[in-house]
Amino acid sequence: MKIESIDFFYISMPVVTDAGDGSQDALLVRVRSGNIEAWGECEASPLTSIASSIAPMSHGACRPVSAQVLGEDVSSPKDIARLAATIQWNCMDLLQAAHTWSGIEIALWDLLGKKESVPVYKLLGYDKAYPKVPYASQLFGDTAQETLTLCKAARDAGYRAVKCGWGPFGRGTLKDDADHLQAAREGIGKDGTLLIDAGQIFGEDVDAAAARLPALEGVNATWFEEPFNGSAYEAYGALAKRSRTVRLAGGEAAHNTFMARHTIDYGGVGFIQIDCGRIGGIGPAKQVADYAVGKGITYVNHTFTTHLALCASIQPFAGLKDHKICEYPVRPQPMAWEMCKTHIAPNAQGEIVVPEAPGLGIEIDLAAVKKYLIDAEIKVGGKVLYKTPSLA
């Protein structure tokens, strides 16, 4: 299959706030070959990612991403891996390349799955996709009472696991954080799985993060996610040694497999969280999943945007029966929900499974995409390098 076109669509809510909510905008990627149309999604600043796709070559190791893919043949997973290696070499100094390529790469898996009439997880070598237990992924409330209300609502909606993150956590006193943790535990009940995301708030201050461990242990939190900068492996490792019952989680900041492996090997995490829209797509995420299995570490997806991204993020560990927990954005912005006609909803058992349809099995709602589409143009030297493409 010759890659005939790669189109980027920047969609956004009318107003974007500084809340840690990644569902406020998105960058969709459409790839076409023959009569097959496939979709992917980048998890990054949309306009910056578009620019890295079409920016004029700066030098031999800083080339535009799309130019490395257009016109290439993709007939097997080996071809996707070949293109990934090409981009890693030709775009090594273009730091946004991994995020831009991620969306294209996901679309290529969707394309290949549609061509072969099989779900993506089977192209990855899995025979079966196992159900996952979704955790309701949400932000902390501004107050402990709001956190209590949010967590109780998630429990009432049938979620057995809840994650609270970002918001005020780590920005106030130890008591403030402890109050939020107690509220979260009360909200989901004593038997619910409680997960906490600090949103990198402590930088690399191990003592500040460690000061929260007693409160985390007191509410029986399963993990403490991203207390530090994503590359602060020494800080992760030091905190991991000081934590008794709460395991660390991290890895969403990894934009290559090396960073993910370092998070495991030097960071001492118990849960490795990978975002297919950042690490370079589904292929490298599957490599990390295989590595995690060998190390006895639990692989978890990172997804806080759309159900297109959610479906892509589950594929790398769909066939891992014992790696069950799955991030599930429980309150996405209307844009993130409406752009997909297909949604992955919890079943009667409170579990989710990926579609068995060819490719990713997610149908895009073009009318909704048009509703939120941002008209953009990038011009260099009087020449238009990018203009919002037609959805037709």
Q: Are residues 177 and 239 in the same domain?
A: yes
Rounded mean pLDDT, 223-231:
98
Rounded mean pLDDT, 304-309:
95
Rounded mean pLDDT, 369-388:
97
Rounded mean pLDDT, 102-121:
98
C-alpha distances (whole Å) from 104 to each of 24, 34, 92, 324, 375 are 21, 17, 17, 27, 20
Q: Are residues 269 and 169 in the same domain?
A: yes
Q: Are residues 144 and 181 in the same domain?
A: yes
Q: Are residues 16 and 154 in the same domain?
A: no
Query: Rounded to an integer, what distance in angstroms lies between the CA atom of residue 336 and that of residue 339?
Result: 6
Query: Rounded to an integer, what distance in angstroms lies between the CA atom of residue 94 and that of residue 27?
Result: 18
pLDDT of residue 110 exceeding 90: yes
Query: Rounded to an integer, what distance in angstroms lies between the CA atom of residue 138 and that of residue 140?
Result: 7
What's the pLDDT at 51? Answer: 97
* pLDDT tens digits for range 25-35: 999 999 999 99
The domain tally of the chain equals 2
Q: Are residues 82 and 148 in the same domain?
A: no
State the CATH number of the domain containing residue 91. Answer: 3.30.390.10
What's the pLDDT at 20? Answer: 87
Rounded mean pLDDT, 212-224:
98
> CB of 49 within 8 A of CB of 105?
no
Tokens encoding 357: 């349809």
pTM: 0.97
Share of the chain above pLDDT 90, in %: 98
Compute the mean pLDDT over every residue in the chain, rounded to the nearest whole number: 97
Structural domain contains residue 344: no
Share of the chain above pLDDT 70, in %: 100
Q: Are residues 78 and 152 in the same domain?
A: no
Q: Are residues 231 and 327 in the same domain?
A: yes
Q: Are residues 115 and 127 in the same domain?
A: no
Rounded mean pLDDT, 9-31:
95
What's the pLDDT at 87? Answer: 97
> CB of 318 within 8 A of CB of 282?
no
| Four-point Cα dihedral 232, 267, 49, 43, nearest 10 | -130
Question: Which residues constitute the domain of residue 133?
Answer: 123-338
The strand order across the sheet containing 25-33 reads 5-12, 25-33, 36-42
Structural domain contains residue 222: yes
Query: Rounded to an integer, what distance in angstroms lies between the CA atom of residue 340 and that of residue 39?
Result: 11
Query: In which region does residue 281 sit, left (phi positive, over 0), alpha (psi from -120 to 50) or beta (all else)?
Result: left
